[in-house]
Amino acid sequence: MSQPQRDSMGRMLPGNKLAVGRKQPPSKAALVRNHIEPDILRVIDQLKANAQSEDGAVANGAARVLLEYFAPKPRNEPEKVTIPGFDEAVGIAQKFQCVERAMANGLLSPESAERVGRVLEMVHKITSIEQLVADVEMLKAGRMKDVVDA
């Protein structure tokens, strides 16, 4: 009988029959889903019947379950954003001013203006870092004059 293959740290290598490991058990949600799935139509019918019950607590509970799980409310669509002058704006300050004007004129909700502002801030940080990296590379290459002129 040959010994299992191991790496330099003593761990079993992939492909070894003994290195399969323990399989993860199914989650509680998967167990419940697998248990209910065969009878899902009967469960829904029972919930509908209970939602029409004379007992208010039973009716409310059944109606809540039906609505939450079988007819959830639709998610909100993200707001479509059009900001006048944004494409023509040069630099981050002018772009922020366009966003501010659009919000002040009611073309953009404050929440959307904040989101656009955060994106602009991230883009500004990224471009600043890229410029710093380029400057450092020029310094490393001995092109100090190019960095000072930029």
**What are the residue boundaries of the structural domains of the chain, listed by start?**
24-70, 91-149
**Alpha carbon of 82 to those of 2, 9, 124, 131, 150: distances in Å?**
70, 59, 20, 29, 34
Taking residue 58's Cβ as centre, other Cβ atoms within 10 Å add up to 14
For the entire predicted model, the pTM comes to 0.44
Q: Using CA atoms, how far apart are residues 124 and 74, in angstroms rounded to an integer?
A: 35
> In what helix (H) or strand (E) does residue 43 lie, and over which residues does it extend?
helix 40-51
Among all chains, which residue has been given the structure tokens 């293959």?
5
What is the pLDDT at residue 4?
A: 63
**Alpha carbon of 37 to those of 29, 40, 67, 109: distances in Å?**
12, 5, 18, 43
pLDDT in tens, the chain (150 residues): 566 678 888 887 777 776 566 778 889 988 988 888 888 899 889 989 999 989 989 889 989 988 888 887 777 777 788 899 999 999 899 999 999 999 999 998 898 899 999 999 999 999 999 999 988 888 888 766 665 665
Give the end-to-end CA distance of the chain in Å, rounded to a whole number.
Answer: 71
